[in-house]
């Protein structure tokens, strides 16, 4: 038992191990680049042929990851494949697959379960399996453990199972994969030891917790903390607006307090693959224990109502100009879920576009990071990004600032747009034709 564990640990420490990363998206790709940069051979496994072909050709499909980085990795021990039989070659299998919600706002575990089932026949002694996907406490024990052990392997003795949640923040220049501390929990102490050996090579600080459940709950608390505080400030925005107070001025002033306050800023709703989704994982699991997570559900309600609030402000502005939304041409600025990235997942901008269209508005968008509206699971627009020229801006009845990319020319927007609905507080001393939303 000790021999297997020691052999695996030594393989990671000497960087002789082959790292397998399953799911090559916003989480998997940066992790691949980090392991590759420090001398590991990395095998990327994905079910998407197009992604695998692009990566093997040294191309990138994520804006903030340059193709040059992929090409360099290809020359130094990185390969992508759709062939799951190659799982047996890997010493570590790091699962970075999506965990969305279904239409009933319940966890959709199909990606995690199907991926684990696909790995199952090719697992062998001496491997460590790490789940990074955000999920409810108990997933690693309930879903992965029995599947990993199905073929006769024993977790903690000859194969190792850990949970270590991803903490990527795309587009944030202050943090990268290496510098973001990594939380890890093992199914057994032996599992934890092997998991730490895997991650401490690549990450500056590894934070150990007592179990996979504790690690799963840690990730949820981080994102619930954010969701609840954004819900709070979104509610405060509505109150402040009624009272004629600028909420951004208030948050900035409160943020000068050097203790006991963390600034959160309001917006048009929550986006991304974490904050709008993860709280509902805990809500769903808590029901099993007869608990009702009121804070989480309340903040979810407030945040989900924000696109409707922005729509109301748009209709008010058009009304002041003697126009109806029906038949008006509306330009939505920024459709990625946050500034300076091309990630569209759960973007509130898309919901705003759908609300405008449902009311009879003619919708268009401009986003320097998203030249074509992508194919999405639930939303569909046959649109391309509009150029932000003086003439084009003037041709729309209103523009809705939904995502405040740095690439936008805000002075030009202010000068040429007939009506601006600002959901990001970009215009702090707004002119008469700018409405705060």
Please state the rounded mean pLDDT for residues 222-237. Answer: 95
Q: Contact, 128 vs 4, CB < 8 A?
A: no
CATH class of the domain whose range is 2-210: alpha beta
- pLDDT tens-digit series, residues 48-75: 999 999 999 999 999 889 999 999 999 9
Give the pLDDT of residue 2.
57
Collapsing DSSP to helix, strand or coil, 333 comes out as strand
> Whose CA is closest to 368, among 395, 391, 334?
334
Q: What is the DSSP string of 365-403?
A: EE-TT-SBPPP-SS-----BPPP--HHHHHHSSEEEE-S
pLDDT > 60? residue 149? yes
Q: What is the 3-state secondary structure (H, E, C) of 190-201?
A: HHHHHHHHHHHC
pLDDT band at 251 (very low <50, low <70, confident <90, very high): very high
Give the pLDDT of residue 55.
97
Q: Contact, 175 vs 227, CB < 8 A?
A: no
Q: Contact, 19 vs 43, CB < 8 A?
A: yes
Q: Which residues carry out catalysis? A: 274
> Whose CA is closest to 131, among 154, 171, 98, 156?
98
Q: Is the pTM of this model over 0.85?
A: yes
Domain boundaries, the chain: 2-210, 220-301, 305-436
pLDDT > 80? residue 190? yes
Pairing mode, strands 398-401 and 420-422: parallel
Give the pLDDT of residue 346.
86
Of the CATH numbers 3.40.50.12780, 1.20.120.420, 1.10.1040.10, 3.40.50.720, which one belongs to the domain with range 220-301? 1.10.1040.10
Q: Contact, 246 vs 304, CB < 8 A?
A: no
Give the pLDDT of residue 221.
95
Collapsing DSSP to helix, strand or coil, 55 comes out as helix
Of the CATH numbers 3.40.50.1000, 3.40.50.720, 3.40.50.9100, 3.30.565.60, which one belongs to the domain with range 305-436? 3.40.50.720
- pLDDT tens-digit series, residues 299-339: 999 999 999 999 999 999 999 999 999 999 999 999 999 99
Collapsing DSSP to helix, strand or coil, 80 comes out as strand
CA distances from 406 to 64, 369, 425 (A): 14, 11, 14
pLDDT > 80? residue 92? yes
Collapsing DSSP to helix, strand or coil, 419 comes out as coil
Give the pLDDT of residue 38.
96
- The two tokens of residue 405 are 């990319």
- pLDDT tens-digit series, residues 7-38: 999 999 999 999 999 999 999 999 999 999 99
Task: Work out the angle between the directed axes of helices 306-320 and 348-358 (0-180°, nearest 10).
Answer: 50
Asked if the domains 2-210 and 305-436 are classified in one and the same CATH topology, the answer is: yes
Q: Contact, 165 vs 213, CB < 8 A?
A: no
Q: Contact, 280 vs 384, CB < 8 A?
A: no
Average pLDDT, the chain: 95
């Amino acid at each position: 038992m000790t021999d297997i564990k020691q052999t695996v640990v030594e393989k990671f420490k000497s960087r002789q191990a082959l790292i397998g990363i399953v799911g090559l998206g916003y989480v998997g790709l940066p992790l691949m680049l980090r392991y590759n940069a420090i001398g590991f051979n990395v095998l990327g496994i994905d079910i998407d042929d197009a992604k695998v072909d692009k990566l093997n050709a040294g191309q990138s499909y994520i804006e903030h990851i340059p193709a040059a980085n992929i090409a360099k990795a290809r020359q130094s021990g990185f390969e992508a494949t759709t062939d799951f039989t190659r799982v047996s070659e890997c010493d570590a299998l790091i699962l970075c697959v999506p965990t969305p919600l279904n239409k009933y706002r319940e966890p959709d575990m199909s990606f995690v379960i199907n991926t684990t089932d696909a790995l199952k026949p090719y697992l062998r002694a001496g491997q460590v399996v790490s789940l990074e996907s955000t999920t409810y406490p108990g997933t690693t024990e309930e879903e992965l453990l029995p599947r990993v052990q199905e073929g006769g392997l024993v977790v903690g003795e000859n194969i190792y199972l850990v949970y270590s949640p991803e903490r990527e923040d795309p587009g944030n220049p202050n943090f990268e994969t290496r510098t973001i501390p990594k939380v890890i929990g093992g199914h057994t102490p032996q599992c934890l030891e092997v998991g730490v050996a895997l991650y401490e090579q690549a990450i500056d600080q590894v934070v150990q917790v007592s179990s996979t459940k504790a690690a799963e709950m840690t990730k949820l608390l981080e994102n619930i903390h954010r969701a609840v505080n954004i819900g709070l400030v979104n509610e405060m925005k509505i109150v402040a607006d009624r009272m004629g107070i600028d909420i951004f001025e208030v948050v900035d002033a409160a943020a000068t307090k050097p203790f006991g306050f963390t600034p959160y800023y309001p917006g048009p709703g929550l986006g991304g693959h974490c904050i709008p989704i993860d709280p509902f994982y805990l809500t769903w699991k808590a029901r099993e224990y007869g608990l009702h997570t009121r804070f989480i559900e309340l903040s979810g309600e407030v945040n989900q109502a924000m696109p409707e609030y922005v729509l109301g402000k748009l209709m008010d502005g058009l009304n002041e100009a003697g126009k109806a939304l029906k038949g008006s041409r509306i330009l939505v600025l920024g459709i990625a879920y946050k500034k300076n990235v091309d990630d569209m997942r759960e973007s509130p901008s898309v919901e705003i576009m759908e609300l405008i269209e449902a009311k009879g508005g003619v919708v268009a968008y401009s986003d320097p990071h998203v030249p074509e509206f992508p194919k999405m699971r639930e939303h569909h627009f046959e649109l391309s990004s509009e150029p932000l020229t003086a003439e084009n801006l003037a041709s729309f009845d209103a523009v809705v600032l939904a995502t405040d990319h740095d690439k936008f020319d805000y002075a030009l927007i202010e000068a040429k747009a007939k009506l601006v609905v600002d959901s990001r507080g970009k215009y702090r001393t707004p002119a008469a034709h700018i409405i705060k939303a």
